Structure 1
């Protein structure tokens, strides 16, 4: 059996990737330190003989015994609430953590896929965003800790590819949603659905005319899987090009949830991108990939998941106590 290490395994995307690789016949080693991940996302794998879990912070030296075929680096805070509370840890997981994993891949002669993000494009001046666009990022703004961590991550990955001949893959992930998302983590979909389930008005920042493009998790995982097994070393956008304004999306959520809330408007956060839409021409050509799940179908599945959560989870505003990471 081929062996794959997945960091950030207890997170939303990481846990779905663990499921996919196990279903494909791989031996999966999951790694997480639970800063933002949740043990419940992996509970269904605890008795699976092809799954092994290691609790570890990837910013510390990583030692894995035996052979390793693939590494998928998905460890990172990914929501504004998280990376604004632990900015230094966010920068470290993108820099030190990535350096450690690239070194491990080199030592094991393993192929490594790095999870980058559409945030490398910043508040884009080009629309839709294609892989050859360099972005418009405020390096010293509050979001810079995440944006620049990911941009550095791409740079050091390409340096290892060019200098050491390491087999690398880089996926630029656009907004993704589905079961196991964390409620109240500051991202659009869980924020709206959480507010709807609690009977609160839906909060839209700015005038609501900013756009996002939402990709269902199964489609995202399929694109990542195909990219890993491809022969392409450079960044590839994986996302859904079906674009919608936040205002219209809030109305969709109200209709989906059958609630009577209204939309309320607040000031737009600093450097919040006004447009997000992937150009997936490259993914179509290289991977034969494009999303298959219609937003209405994916949102229904996601809402049903959130409805199944306990009352405690529904009203819990902060997932973690970040105090132990503040000075690290």
Structure 2
């Protein structure tokens, strides 16, 4: 197939590009590089089946006939969507519409990358796909949360009204090589702080929970969903639940750092619990994650070491 990936220079987009090329497909990667990096794609410089187009998908665009559209374009980290709030809303609305229009024009299948943030600060635990969420629509995180909730509604509208063959994946915290080192997410923050010998910053008392999925597991789940006939949202994430404090201690074990853990005030609307119910993915996709957190951290360690410039001190 000839496959379009929006957000191809991002963390997940670049890993999906690699996986699809390995499966023998041709990939057209589109990215405006506002948060993505060409460094994530540099190993494909001589790959004849990969084409990169620098393009903001908020503006109408066309890359010719494609068989599948994977829509992964969006700022995804708290640091990025706090800095690019209006842009995040635009890519979730106009950008998603433009990507859907390409799928509609060429009769292509379509998969949209949504997020566990659609559940907000959940009152149901673990989160199943039929839970409608508890989201503050005007809070500081709303530019991302509501962009993704709207893009889900838009994707379902194109499916119901225009017959576009769509899928929706709700992605839970994912980590691994190519994760931006300064993106404000838990794993990258802790790994970089530990490797630089700095204190690890935990917000609140560290009792809030997250479920961390290693990137290879996440990509496998996404691609299984892409090949399925499921149109409603599907959780793809690791159901092993860790407190933020437990995660910080795991990072210290893996890195061997002697950093202290310091506590800071909890940000507004920071979810207290986050854990996917993946019974649907198990049932319809035969998928569940294989990589536990400490193994995934060890697999990510060299990447984070190399991401620090020579001027930045590291502990070994």
**What's the TM-score bracket when you normalise by the shorter of the two chains?**
over 0.9
Give the distance between the partners of 1:312 and 1:252, measured in 2 at CA.
25
User: Is the CA contact (8 Å cut-off) linking 1:216 and 1:298 kept in structure 2?
Assistant: yes
Distance 1:127 1:153 in 2: 24
Cα distance in 1, alignment partners of residues 159 and 40 from structure 2? 32
- Unaligned 5+ runs, structure 1: 316-328
CA deviation profile, 1:217-267 (whole Å, cap 9, x unmatched): 000000000101101111000000000100111111111111111100000
CA distance in 1, matches of 2:246, 2:186: 12
Task: Tell me, yes or no, if the aligned pair for 2:168 and 2:231 is still in contact at 8 Å.
Answer: yes
Secondary structure of 1:179's aligned partner: coil
Superposition pairs of residues 98-247 of structure 1, within 5 angstroms: 98-247=96-245
> How many angstroms does 1:309 deviate by?
2.4
2:5 aligned with 1:10: no
Classify 1:311/1:113 alpha carbon distance in 2 versus 1 (closer, same or farther; 3 Å): same
Gaps of 5+ in 2: none
- 1:49 and 2:48 aligned: yes
For residues 154 and 181 of structure 2, the distance between their equivalents in structure 1, rounded to whole angstroms, comes to: 33
Corresponding residue for residue 320 of structure 1: none
Q: Runs of 4+ in structure 1 displaced over 2 angstroms?
A: 312-315
Deviation at 1:313, TM superposition (A): 8.7
Cross-structure match for 1:76: 74
Structure-1-length-normalised TM-score:
0.94
Contact 1:183 1:313 (C-alpha < 8 Å) held by counterparts: no
Cα deviation digits, residues 94-134 of structure 1 (max 9, x gap): 00000111111100100000000000000000000000000
TM-score normalised to structure 2 length: 0.97
User: What's the secondary structure of 2:229's corresponding residue?
Assistant: coil
Cross-structure match for 2:287: 289
Alignment-derived partner of residue 62 in structure 1: 61
Partner of 1:322: none
Question: 1:36 maps to which residue?
Answer: 35
Compute the displacement of 1:11 (Å).
0.5
Number of residues of Structure 1 aligned to a counterpart in Structure 2: 313
CA change 1:313–1:46 in 2 (3 A) is farther
Q: Distance in 2 between matches of 1:62 and 1:309?
A: 33
Question: What's the CA shift string for 1:287-309, capped at 9, x where partnerless?
Answer: 00000112221110111211122
> Take 1:295 and 1:248, find their aligned partners in 2: how far apart are those partners?
11
Q: Aligned partners of 2:47, 2:278: CA distance in 1, in Å? A: 35
Structure 1, residues 1-37: CA drift from partner, whole Å, max 9, x if none?
x100001000000000000000001000001010000
Separation in 2, partners of 1:6, 1:32: 9
